[in-house]
Amino acid sequence: MTTINYINTPEKLTAVCALIREASWLALDTEFLREKTYYPKFCLLQIATPDWVACIDPIALPDLGELFAAIYNPNIIKVFHSCRQDLEIFFQVTGKLPTPIFDTQVAAPLLGFQDNPGYAMLVSSFLNINLSKAHTRADWSKRPLTEAQIEYAADDVIYLCQIYQIIIKKLAELGRADWLKQDFAELSNPDIYHIDPAKAWLKIKGKNKLTGKQLSIIQAVTEWREKTAQREDRPKSWLLKDELLFDIAKLQPENISDLAAVRGINERVLHRYGKELCEIITAAKNQPPIPLHEQGRPTKKTQQQEAILDILTALVRIRAEENSLNPSILASRKDLEALLFNDDNDDADGCPLLHGWRYTMAGKELVGLLKGELVLGIQADKLAIMAAHN
């Protein structure tokens, strides 16, 4: 059984940093809480290599500068599973992101798994181990941590080490070891983890059903909610739930009495922010909304557009079969629609087919089809992609 090093003193931290600096790669995971806060509360950092495993206590160690300096060494690969929340903590603590990284959730579909497979699925598939769920809802901020909690947390990186080694071996055997470099590089883009309150409305589902004053109001109120949640470090839903944003946008309350009549409004929010919210709503009604990005995509496609999508789907199926992938992993119908209705097919925003391994495998040819540079034809009783003859 692997000995778990619990790191809760500066001396132990210095010792584990020496081990980190000798590693070529590290498996990492975090435990955190954010039920009562806007920002995640960093509670534990697990690190492992094939030779050792450590659970580092950031609550007991307020100064982690030496640790992050060691981890951020660009010669050390940082291995995660579903890294975004972990990297959000790294970015919050240090103001920057580590490179290079490897994410097993991103890599696994290249080996035939579904898109975004869960960690338990990979552990079961690769190692034939069923993960315990005993401490899934544990309060990781409470001290002391039990021995069972520490073992539970350590297991995640112990198994991650094993999974990583299997995945990179299989990727190399398939000649796909370099396919994910761009995908992983994009995960270390600070823009992903820097939340701009002015753009928070873009994540609100159903916003495309609003127009004019309603859209302007939901944009303004969502920005206010994000700023207030950040400033006070409290969950956004504690201020206004998403459904309340829509009710406010539709009812357009002009004063505190009108706002109080909105079903579900929190009394604390009403008394503390009511006047401010009414002023924001009134101002928003008198200014044009930020245009929706979805405007370029028609709500109902023509028969010609459906036919083009069918042709693009055929190319996807060809390339997926050649590479032993499920076509839905390579591109969904929604992805193809994003490509078709993109005003500039060289702009990767919002379309996974325009970057990373998907672009290499099919995206470049799909763009060629849409530009008329390539055609889909039949050769030797098989579909084939050929250069267009003008």
pLDDT for residue 347: 46
Give the whole-angstrom CA distance, residue 221 versus residue 201.
Answer: 9
Contact (Cβ atoms closer than 8 angstroms) between residue 207 and residue 215: yes
Instruction: Catalogue all structural domains in the chain, each as residue range(s) with its CATH number.
Output: 4-192 (3.30.420.10), 197-285 (1.10.150.80), 297-387 (1.10.150.80)
pLDDT computed for residue 381 by the predictor:
85
Identify how many contiguous H helices and E strands the chain contains and give both numbers.
17, 8
- The rounded distance, in Å, linking the Cα atoms of 214 and 245 is 10
What is d(CA 237, CA 56) in angstroms, rounded to the nearest whole number?
Answer: 31
Cis check for the bond before 144: say yes or no (omega within 30 of 0): yes
Q: How far apart are CA 40 and CA 295, in angstroms?
A: 35
83, 60 Cβ separation under 8 angstroms = no
Distance CA 120, CA 130 (A): 7
| DSSP result, 323-355 | TT--HHHH--HHHHHHHHT-S-TT--TT-GGGS
pLDDT of residue 79: 98
Report the distance separating Cα 191 and Cα 345, nearest Å.
22
Q: Give whole-number Cα distances, 106 to 170, 283, 298, in Å.
A: 14, 43, 31
Lookup: tokens for 210: 């609003």
Strand 41-48 and strand 25-33: the pairing is antiparallel
Low-confidence ranges of the chain (pLDDT < 50): 295-296, 345-348
User: Distances from the Cα of 267 to the Cαs of 131, 242, 329, 337, 349, in angstroms?
Assistant: 43, 17, 46, 44, 40
**Dihedral angle sign, alpha carbons of residues 8, 12, 18, 23:** negative
- Looking up tokens 């207030």 gives 228
CA atoms of 132 and 149, how far apart (whole Å): 11
Cα torsion 69, 72, 78, 84: sign: positive
Query: How do residues 73-128 score in pLDDT, each as one tens digit?
Result: 999 999 999 999 999 999 999 999 999 999 999 999 999 898 889 999 999 999 99
Which letter does DSSP use for residue 9 in this model? S
**Computed from CA positions of residues 122, 123, 125, 127, in that sequence, does the dihedral angle turn out positive or negative?**
positive
339, with CB counted inside 10 A (0-12, 13-18, 19+), is buried
Residue 297: predicted pLDDT = 56
Angle 206-208-210 (CA atoms, 0-180°, nearest 5)? 95
Please give the model's pTM, rounded to 2 decimal places.
0.87
pLDDT at 345: 46
**Type and span of the H or E element at 229:** helix 212-232
Q: In whole angstroms, what is the distance from residue 69 CA to residue 179 CA?
A: 28
pLDDT of residue 350: 65
CB atoms within 10 A of CB 356: 20
Q: Which contacts (CB < 8 Å, 24+ apart) does range 14-22 have?
A: 14/66, 16/47, 16/54, 16/56, 16/67, 17/66, 17/67, 17/69, 17/70, 19/49, 19/52, 19/54, 20/47, 20/67, 20/70, 20/71, 20/73, 20/76, 21/70, 21/73
